[in-house]
C-alpha cells in the first residue's frame, strides 16, 4: 500500500520510523516515532480518534491514518510527516511525549517511504 500526495504549503518534512502505534479506549490513536538518521523522538503522540473528529481529522481519515501507521510498523518502512513551522518544533526534538500532534504544527501525512 503506497499513499502519496503532493503538499505545497508545509514548511518542513521529517522522516520517522514507527516504533509503536496504539488505539486507546474511546478511540484516540497514539504513535511513538523515531527520527531516521537523527535524535528526534516523539513518544505517545495523539494523532486523531477513530470515534469522531479530533485534531482537525475526521474519524474515517483517522482510520486510514491508523492503517498506514500499522502498515509502516509491520513492514519497517519509514514515514514522512509534514509540519507547518508555526510551532517551536524541529525534527530533532527528542523530548516530545504525550502531546496532541497540533501542538507540533503537524500539517500532513503520514506518507510511507
pLDDT, tens digit, 9 for 90 and up, residues 60-76? 999 999 999 999 999 99
* Number of domains into which the chain is organized: 1
The pLDDT, as a whole number, for residue 95 is 79
pLDDT category of residue 55 using cuts at 50, 70 and 90: confident
Question: Rounded mean pLDDT of 48-71?
Answer: 94
Domain of 91, in residue numbers: 19-112
Q: Does residue 12 form part of some domain?
A: no
Q: Does residue 1 form part of some domain?
A: no
Q: Does residue 9 form part of some domain?
A: no
Q: Does residue 79 form part of some domain?
A: yes
User: For the chain, where are the E strands, in sequence order?
Assistant: 12-23, 28-35, 41-49, 78-83, 96-97, 106-112
Q: Does residue 47 form part of some domain?
A: yes
pLDDT category of residue 7 using cuts at 50, 70 and 90: very low
Q: Does residue 36 form part of some domain?
A: yes
What helix, strand, coil percent values describe the chain, rounded to 5?
A: 20, 40, 40
Percent of the chain with pLDDT over 90: 61
Q: Does residue 3 form part of some domain?
A: no
Amino acid at each position: 500500500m503506497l499513499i502519496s500526495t503532493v503538499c505545497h504549503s508545509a514548511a518542513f518534512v521529517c522522516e520517522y520510523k514507527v516504533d509503536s502505534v496504539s488505539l486507546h479506549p474511546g478511540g484516540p490513536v497514539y504513535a511513538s516515532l523515531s527520527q531516521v538518521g537523527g535524535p528526534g523522538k516523539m513518544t505517545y503522540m495523539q494523532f486523531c480518534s477513530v470515534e469522531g473528529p479530533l485534531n482537525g481529522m475526521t474519524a474515517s481519515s483517522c482510520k486510514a491514518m491508523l492503517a498506514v501507521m500499522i502498515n509502516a510498523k509491520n513492514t519497517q518502512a519509514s514515514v514522512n510527516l509534514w509540519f507547518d513551522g508555526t510551532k517551536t518544533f524541529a525534527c530533532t526534538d527528542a523530548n516530545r511525549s504525550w502531546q496532541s500532534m497540533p501542538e507540533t504544527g503537524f500539517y500532513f501525512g503520514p506518507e510511507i517511504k
